[in-house]
Structure 1
């Protein structure tokens, strides 16, 4: 009996001490700041929710911490969902994130198959609050079951495709009106596919990164994205530009072209002459090229003269053949021009 009373007294003393420990007396505002520092680093957000890490861990310490953590939407605004097999056990965890975010949500979807029934029903009430969506299609996913147009509040969309070659086209055929950034990795769109999009399907985009197989795709992209300010293209850039009309794009400021390392350099000047001759870019400020072979200096200089653009930066990387005299001409045209060279040529 004495032992039981002693243990009870000890427990009460510990509870009393815990109640008056310094951290329990912190104002809620201080706890909120501490909780923010407990969150995983940016590169650790690739992990699915983990009970041993914040923010879930913070809800298990004590009632006060749980109440504060649950009432902090900023702790719950990044979620990675793994959509594969029997994932019903994870639904409760995922739904708690979506509910607690109470507003903008950054969501990563890892899709291994096309069974979208449960994820669709789970996400349906929150579609308009998801502002940043990243989708990874893994082998076994013959098509992407997610339609970008369903996410009314979407601002940024990125898709990494390891599934079937044409798995993504239908998903991005129409973007929500506020989507300003689109990144497509290992997604090779064709001109017939883009030509089938509605004229305003990508009109809201200001930033676009994608793979380009055909050089002829670029004018089509610029027409589809009249408000684009940044365009980054990676690919092979084969074929010719099949248009006699020069396209003026008044918003493009940054143009980045990364050709595959195995690019056929003997044909590259002709190809990029066609690109530079097909467009006028009056607001062009930054150009970056990589692995394009011989740099089409005269054609680029004609583009600059025709566009009367305020060029500020010019970057060369990888295999790009250029001459010092050519670079000096650019500096003469733009005295404050910054030129960076990272390749050997």
Structure 2
């Protein structure tokens, strides 16, 4: 295979890549990567101790494959999946020279994260590109983002079928034009995290029904479930009674209806973190007291679209004991249910470390002083700027 890249430009390319890593590390002094500096020192020793290989006058040509492979990994962003592009790593790395291509193609860790766009255009061409990309992962765990702007679900399932047992993280974005959702979480045997999100528009009833069906049974390794931007019927949610939900450790949901926190926590006995948005109203019934020993972080917010948020959190904390609760953050619920919450933390004897009141929460100085008395080392935050809902 021939390449059009000027060999004299290769040192400039690698210098830019290394400079990017240096700038990243310099901007994060508290997160210095000492392994990187070891590699830099090793590279310097190599350049000083050996001459250029036959036919190569560039110092880059002297670097061992192991060093180049480490540098290649630094070219890959860590905060999101990405769409393949010729001017971005890892595709860019395969176009520099034959040696770089061989190294990059044979590094499965470069090809484990991918964003698939299901919009308009030549799907066959994109599907071929996606499949070629995924094949290079060679059985490694995959992190995929699916941006669904239409309903090409049949084609998508066909593309993903060979890789369903590799996908550990799956993010699915639904647009307003999406009229169906045939993906079933249980089909992805290795799935650990599932995120389904919308552009702020509630899906049509048929899509919501499909989503509820999809999450009824979760894969055995599922730990993180986030359903963002869509209202779930609390009665339907808590009637799932699916044993597969017992494995969840993190849950983020938006619920409508009368919320009974004990009822929800019974569904997820291993939950350590819960983020919930809802229209909280007094509970009319309970299934009895519950001691949930795993929950450490509880964040909840009222709905900003509600005309009134003055009802507070009446009954939300009743019948509940949380002995390991460490972090609580609340927004947009109006009057703070101080008496109910104080009773909760008193009977729980929990190690509360952080209590955060965002915008739309009404408290009094006396109430705040009581928390500091109960927990002298408590991090108490009053921040009205935290007024948006979590999702």
TM-score (norm 1): 0.88
5+ residue gaps, structure 1:
1-10
Match status 1:230 vs 2:266: no
Residue-by-residue CA offset, 1:229-275 (whole Å, 9 max, x unaligned): 0000123224634226222222111110111235423322xxx2301
**1:307 Cα offset (Å):** 1.4
Partner of 1:333: 374
Distance 1:295-1:172 versus aligned 2 partners, 3 A rule: same
Residue-by-residue CA offset, 1:32-66 (whole Å, 9 max, x unaligned): 122123224635x4x42112211011112211111
The one of 265, 269, 281 aligned to 2:322: 281
Alignment of 1:263-342 (within 5 A): 263=306, 264-268=308-312, 272-342=313-383
**1:107 Cα offset (Å):** 0.3
SS of 2:72 mapped into structure 1: helix
The one of 109, 130, 137 aligned to 2:146: 109
Match status 1:164 vs 2:209: no
Alignment of 1:129-168 (within 5 A): 129-161=166-198, 162=201, 163-165=203-205, 166=208, 167-168=210-211
Match status 1:178 vs 2:221: yes
Provide the C-alpha distance between the structure 2 equivalents of 1:18 and 1:318, rounded to a whole number of angstroms.
66
SS of 1:32 mapped into structure 2: helix
Partner of 1:99: 135
Distance 1:201-1:188 versus aligned 2 partners, 3 A rule: farther
**1:170 Cα offset (Å):** 1.6
The one of 267, 271, 289 aligned to 1:246: 289
**1:182 Cα offset (Å):** 0.9
Provide the C-alpha distance between the structure 2 equivalents of 1:295 and 1:217, rounded to a whole number of angstroms.
17
Provide the C-alpha distance between the structure 1 equivalents of 2:176 and 2:282, rounded to a whole number of angstroms.
30
Partner of 1:6: none
RMSD of the TM alignment (CA)? 2.5
**1:17 Cα offset (Å):** 8.7
The one of 123, 127, 152 aligned to 1:87: 123
Provide the C-alpha distance between the structure 2 equivalents of 1:225 and 1:22, rounded to a whole number of angstroms.
57
Q: Say if 2:260 and 2:316, in contact at 8 Å, map to a contact too.
A: no
Provide the C-alpha distance between the structure 2 equivalents of 1:298 and 1:238, rounded to a whole number of angstroms.
16
Partner of 1:67: 102
SS of 2:247 mapped into structure 1: coil
Q: Say if 1:216 and 1:242, in contact at 8 Å, map to a contact too.
A: no
Distance 1:72-1:276 versus aligned 2 partners, 3 A rule: same
**1:198 Cα offset (Å):** 3.9
Q: Say if 1:174 and 1:198, in contact at 8 Å, map to a contact too.
A: no
SS of 2:180 mapped into structure 1: coil
Q: Say if 1:106 and 1:133, in contact at 8 Å, map to a contact too.
A: yes
SS of 1:208 mapped into structure 2: strand
Q: Say if 1:285 and 1:313, in contact at 8 Å, map to a contact too.
A: yes
TM-score (norm 2): 0.78
Match status 1:205 vs 2:279: no
Alignment coverage as a number of residue pairs: 328
SS of 1:92 mapped into structure 2: helix
Q: Which has the higher strand share?
A: 1
Provide the C-alpha distance between the structure 1 equivalents of 2:87 and 2:379, rounded to a whole number of angstroms.
48
Q: Say if 2:119 and 2:150, in contact at 8 Å, map to a contact too.
A: yes
Provide the C-alpha distance between the structure 1 equivalents of 2:346 and 2:281, rounded to a whole number of angstroms.
26
Partner of 2:39: none
